[in-house]
Every structure is written in C-alpha cells, then in structure tokens.
C-alpha cells in the first residue's frame, strides 16, 4: 500500500495505491507488479492546452478538482541494503469531478472521463507516473521520495484539453507481512 502526495506551483495531489508485486529473480531483487491507484488532484487554477477538437488553443480552468481511479504497472529494484529504486505508471481508468469554469466564455469544463496511456501528448484523461527512491524502515514501512509526472485532462463540447505537471513527491509505503 502506497500513500503519496505533492504540493507544487501548478498542482497539488494525494494518492493511494495497492500493488501486487512478483519477484523476477530468486532473491527478489527485481520486482514487477500491477495495482490500482486512486488520486485526487487540485489547485487554484492552471492553463490547459488543446489536445483535440475545434476549441481555443489554450484555456484556463478555475479551481480544478479531479479524482481518478487507474490500473497501473510497477517496477522496482533493490539497489543496496534497504535502498530501492522504483517506477510506477497509470495505464487506464476513469476520472470524475465537478464541472469547472474556464477563463474564457463558452461553457463549463468537465474532467475527461476515460483515462488511457498512449504516450506523451497523446495521453488521454488524468494519469500519474512516479520515479522514486525508497528506504526501508522497520515494521514493513518504506519512506519514498521522487518525481511525479502527471497529466490532467478536461473536456468542453467536442474539444479535449490537457496539462502536464512535474512535481517532487513524498510517500510512505507499507508491505503486508
């Protein structure tokens, strides 16, 4: 179980994830896994860039609040002693949240409902990926510090908008006995 959060100039988020990891070698030094991540993204406002459709090239959104539930992949390796490097990546899921006012007239913005990892600027919806360094603590706990790359997606009429965010993140993990 992972709990992660970040506060940045363009976005604040909190997430909880549950993973099932499998060892790739007899000693369990390398692991691969899958799981679910629930995330909450929020801030005062940010600028969006048009992804597809006939709307404006960019558009501001006021007080965005997004919630997502995504299936995700996880890779990690024990580097030395209690130190691990890891990476996890949302692949597909759903987002929801309240409609929000844009900074330009023309109707409310709503979260893009379907999330899908397509690679770079083609990503759809709201997705999170983390690269981290973790240190094992007593009682199955790990303290994690790393970098989150997040895309948040919104829609209005037939136009989709998105914004990429890069944030330093802190997390705490617990491994069941």
Closest CA to 115 of 73, 69, 176: 69
**Measured CA angle at 132 (ends 127, 136), to 5 deg:** 130
* pTM for the whole structure: 0.91
Domains of the chain and any CATH numbers: 2-174 (2.40.160)
From first to last of the 177 residues of the chain, give the pLDDT tens digit.
899 999 988 899 999 999 999 999 998 899 999 999 999 999 999 989 989 888 788 889 999 999 999 999 999 999 999 999 999 999 999 999 999 988 888 789 999 999 999 998 899 999 999 999 999 999 989 999 999 999 999 999 889 999 999 999 999 999 887
DSSP type of residue 120: G
Query: CA-CA distance, 95 to 115, in Å (whole number)?
Result: 7
Structure tokens at 49: 């860039």
């Amino acid at each position: 179980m992972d709990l992660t959060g970040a506060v940045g100039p363009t976005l604040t988020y909190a997430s909880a994830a549950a993973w099932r990891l499998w060892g790739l070698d007899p000693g369990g030094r390398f692991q691969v896994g899958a799981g679910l991540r629930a995330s909450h993204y929020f801030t005062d406002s940010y600028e969006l860039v048009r992804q597809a459709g006939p709307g404006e090239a960019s558009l501001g959104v006021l007080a965005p609040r997004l919630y997502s539930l995504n299936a995700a992949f996880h890779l990690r390796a024990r580097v030395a002693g209690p130190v691990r490097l890891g990476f996890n990546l949302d692949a597909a899921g759903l987002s929801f949240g309240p409609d929000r006012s844009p900074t330009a007239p023309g109707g409310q913005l709503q979260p893009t409902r379907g999330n899908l990892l397509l690679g770079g600027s083609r990503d759809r919806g709201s997705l999170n990926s983390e690269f981290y360094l973790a240190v094992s603590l007593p009682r199955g706990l790990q303290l994690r510090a790393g970098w989150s790359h997040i895309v948040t997606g919104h829609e209005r009429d037939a136009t989709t908008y998105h914004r990429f965010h890069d944030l330093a993140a802190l997390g705490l993990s617990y491994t069941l006995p």
